[in-house]
């Protein structure tokens, strides 16, 4: 990956706030507190950037802003050089296709009444005008991409393991043929062996399709094996960003060291 590569996604000075709560907020007497502030980073084609930090550090808020689920009150969010800091309902179909998000809990995003084949075919039709035979073929191809056999098309989410449901959620996002895939804590509910399988799957998809991945996690042990660069968030602000090998090598930023020390088999390496 060239250091001279043109950014696909770029955030500059982004600040995001959620409305205050309570009766003072209802009267407009309370300024919404910033959830994240002064966030700047970019992402190039074929790169994986990890956003790491403790729960509540602002990782998912940034993911939601990039995906159009919330908007920034300050700063810019650009994709392909154009401003995309607009709600998802105002985004073009092309932009919705180009940026896809996979959430932590696939159970909340996969309709239990629909088969895997129906879920994937509907995602395909949302972005591509294809005949039925081609859609069926693409369903099989998507399942193969996430290393599931074709017979999974007839199964329902309740018949799948947690790892299999997450693979289906990834396949649904891939149906759009995105340029950026936002993965928001997608491994946190999975056991270690399944996490390793999903990591290898993402690496393979990135090699084959050149997708840029924004990978959000609280687990620095997982991030180390996937990310090209790591951005560390604390209390809604970036405290460090750099190449993975630099972030994981001394001298450590004090907060990064704290996070590393919290991972039992990695803490010894920070001594």
In CATH, which superfamily holds the domain spanning 9-110+181-262? P-loop containing nucleotide triphosphate hydrolases (3.40.50.300)
- Give average pLDDT by consecutive 10-residue segment, the chain, 271 residues: 74 86 49 79 96 91 95 96 95 96 90 97 95 96 96 97 96 96 92 91 92 94 92 94 93 87 58 38
Q: What pLDDT is recorded for position 264?
A: 64
CA-wise closest residue to 216 among 70, 62, 34, 14: 62
| pLDDT given for residue 251 in this prediction | 80
Residue with tokens 């790591």: 230
Residue identified by tokens 């250091």 is 3
- Please state, in angstroms and rounded to a whole number, the distance separating the CA atoms of residues 135 and 42: 34
Measured distance CA(98)–CA(96) in Å, rounded: 6
Q: What is the pTM of this model?
A: 0.88
Residue 112, C-beta contacts closer than 8 angstroms, at least 6 positions apart: 156, 157, 158
Residue ranges in the chain assigned as alpha helix (H): 23-26, 59-66, 93-98, 116-127, 132-145, 162-174, 192-209, 220-224, 244-247, 254-261, 264-267
pLDDT of residue 239: 93
pLDDT score at 23: 45
């Amino acid at each position: 990956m060239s250091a001279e590569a043109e950014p696909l996604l770029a955030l500059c000075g982004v600040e995001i706030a959620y409305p205050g709560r309570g009766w003072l907020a209802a009267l407009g007497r309370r300024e919404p507190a910033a959830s994240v502030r002064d966030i700047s980073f970019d992402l190039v084609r074929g790169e994986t950037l990890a956003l790491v930090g403790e729960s509540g550090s602002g990782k998912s808020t940034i993911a939601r802003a990039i995906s159009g689920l919330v908007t920034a009150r300050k700063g810019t969010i650009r994709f392909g050089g154009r401003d995309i800091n607009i709600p998802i309902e105002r985004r073009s179909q092309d932009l919705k296709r180009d940026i896809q998000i996979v959430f932590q809990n696939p159970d909340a995003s996969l309709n239990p009444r629909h088969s895997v084949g129906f879920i994937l075919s509907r995602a395909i039709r949302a972005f591509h005008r294809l005949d039925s035979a081609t859609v069926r073929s693409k369903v099989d191809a998507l399942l193969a991409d996430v290393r599931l056999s074709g017979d999974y098309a007839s199964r329902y989410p309740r018949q799948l393991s947690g790892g299999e449901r997450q693979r289906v959620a990834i396949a649904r996002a891939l149906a759009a043929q995105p340029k950026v895939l936002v993965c928001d804590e997608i491994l946190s509910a999975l056991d270690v062996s399944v996490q390793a399988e999903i990591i290898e799957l993402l690496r393979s998809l990135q090699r084959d399709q050149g997708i840029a991945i924004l990978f959000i996690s609280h687990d620095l042990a997982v991030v180390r094996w996937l990310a090209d660069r790591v951005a560390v968030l604390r209390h809604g602000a970036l405290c460090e960003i750099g190449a993975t090998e630099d972030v994981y090598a001394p001298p450590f930023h004090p907060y990064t060291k704290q996070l590393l020390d919290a991972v039992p088999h990695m803490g010894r390496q920070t001594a």
